[in-house]
């Protein structure tokens, strides 16, 4: 069974700060942004793209337009689009198109080229594949359109000539939060599993690196075993096969919340009860964490705030300012105690009824 927080506090992990195993989410929080941007850039803050009143007036007078080229519009990306929409509305910038490639490279290339034909002032986008899509993204600057990336930059493009900024979550910091919490449930050492995304992508690489680096630095008594999926819909099958092949695993980190649900389903099917940590506070993850049966903590990205920073970075470029090459949006530590407050912070809306009900059933542990 998963140890309670009281049991974890009584047996601090070797080499780690005992506070990591308490109920204070602040103790899990990295100090500042961890890691660097996709091309080794130092982190800048979202505060670095704030507009003065005079600059805001310039934007409002500019009649600027934007195209959004996304992938996989789940709750997380919809929250990001809401942050973009609210910010652009505030400054009088019009969104003229939004597309969803749903991880399909050919489809995204077509989306980029179609968006260019609409002649927006700027494009905000996340590359499905940072190599295959690069030639299409190169056409954006050739057309005189400002380009801001979310999470990752297409390979071979130069800053600030061909793109103006990359805005990303603090994925390595999120990974460290998840690792620190998972560590609390294996105080005597042992083996953990890492279920990773088998496709090279900056943000997922960073969060997994954050997990591994934390355990190497703080828990030399813990061995890491890994498995990878390439199709997100198959993550549960990969997790099930991994858990069957590795019955000694005492905890699992899954690279984001969707695969974490696959891990949890596999554990339930096998009748196992071991702790799971992840990244991203999706609706199902929030409800699972509220009940704390399997999911014990996570490092949450702030998609709404990331959307705000992306919009501001692009508007900087519109008025001739050069935004930082890489902006990191700070991570948020989430445990059972602060899950409702954290959900409000991440999505700028109330938590789902299912999450609230799970919190009420778990009271007073859940807040």
Residue ranges in the chain assigned as alpha helix (H)? 5-10, 53-60, 75-90, 105-117, 134-142, 171-183, 202-218, 235-245, 257-270, 283-291, 303-318, 339-347, 353-362
Cis peptide before 329 (omega within 30 of 0): no
- As a whole number of angstroms, the distance between CA 33 and CA 42 comes to 9
pLDDT, position 19: 57
Q: Give the mean model confidence (pLDDT) for residues 313-342.
A: 96
Cβ–Cβ under 8 Å, residues 332 and 289: no
User: How large is the average pLDDT for residues 165-194?
Assistant: 94
**Whole-number Å distance between alpha carbons of 287 and 73:** 20
Q: Which residue has the higher pLDDT, 33 or 224?
A: 224
Q: What confidence tier does 202 reach under pLDDT thresholds 50, 70, 90?
A: confident
pLDDT for position 233: 80
Neighbour order of strands in the sheet with 94-100: 94-100, 65-70, 122-125, 146-150, 165-169, 326-329
The Cα 212–Cα 176 span in angstroms is 8
- The mean of the pLDDT values for the chain is 90
- pLDDT of 160-179, one tens digit each? 999 999 999 999 999 999 99
Q: What are the pLDDT digits (tens) for 22-36?
A: 788 888 888 888 888
pLDDT digit string, tens, across residues 332-345: 999 999 999 999 99
Are 327 and 166 a contacting pair, CB within 8 Å? yes
Task: Report pLDDT for 158.
Answer: 95
Model pLDDT, residue 239: 86
Name the band, by pLDDT with cuts 50, 70 and 90, for residue 10. Answer: very low
Name the more confident of 234 and 12: 234
Q: Residue 150 — pLDDT band, cuts 50, 70, 90?
A: very high
Q: What is the pLDDT of residue 16?
A: 41
Confidence check: pLDDT of 6 > 80: no
At residue 69, does pLDDT exceed 80? yes
């Amino acid at each position: 069974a998963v140890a309670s927080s009281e049991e974890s506090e009584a047996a601090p992990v070797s080499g780690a700060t005992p506070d990591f195993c308490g109920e204070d989410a602040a103790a899990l929080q990295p100090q500042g942004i961890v890691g660097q941007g996709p091309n080794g850039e130092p982190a800048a803050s979202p505060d670095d793209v704030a507009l003065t009143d005079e600059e805001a007036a310039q934007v409002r007078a500019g009649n600027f337009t934007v195209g959004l080229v996304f992938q996989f519009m789940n709750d997380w990306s919809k929250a990001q689009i809401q942050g973009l929409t609210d910010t652009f509305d505030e400054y009088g910038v019009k969104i003229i198109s939004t597309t969803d490639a749903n991880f399909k490279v050919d489809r995204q290339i077509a989306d980029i080229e179609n968006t260019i034909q609409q002649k927006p002032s700027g494009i905000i986008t996340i590359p499905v594949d940072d190599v295959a899509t690069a030639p299409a993204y190169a056409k954006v600057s050739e057309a005189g359109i400002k380009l801001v990336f979310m999470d990752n930059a297409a390979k071979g493009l130069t800053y600030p000539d061909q793109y103006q900024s990359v805005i990303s979550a603090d994925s390595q910091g999120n990974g460290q939060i998840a690792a620190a919490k998972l560590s609390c449930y294996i105080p005597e050492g042992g083996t953990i599993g890492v279920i990773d995304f088998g496709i090279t992508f900056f943000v997922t690489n960073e969060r997994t690196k954050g997990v591994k680096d934390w355990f190497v630095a703080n828990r030399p008594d813990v061995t890491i075993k890994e498995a990878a999926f390439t199709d997100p819909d198959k993550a549960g099958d990969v997790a099930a096969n991994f858990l069957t092949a590795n019955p000694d695993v005492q905890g699992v980190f899954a690279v984001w919340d969707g695969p974490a649900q696959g891990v949890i389903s596999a554990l339930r099917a096998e009748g196992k009860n071991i702790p799971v940590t992840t990244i991203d506070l999706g609706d199902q993850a929030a409800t699972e964490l509220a009940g704390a049966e399997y999911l014990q903590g996570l490092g949450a990205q702030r998609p709404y705030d990331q959307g705000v920073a992306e919009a501001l970075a692009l508007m900087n470029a519109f008025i001739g300012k050069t935004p930082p090459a890489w902006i990191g949006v700070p991570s948020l530590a989430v445990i059972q105690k602060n899950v409702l407050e954290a959900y409000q912070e991440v999505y700028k809306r109330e938590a789902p009824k299912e999450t609230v009900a799970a919190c009420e059933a778990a009271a007073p542990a859940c807040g």
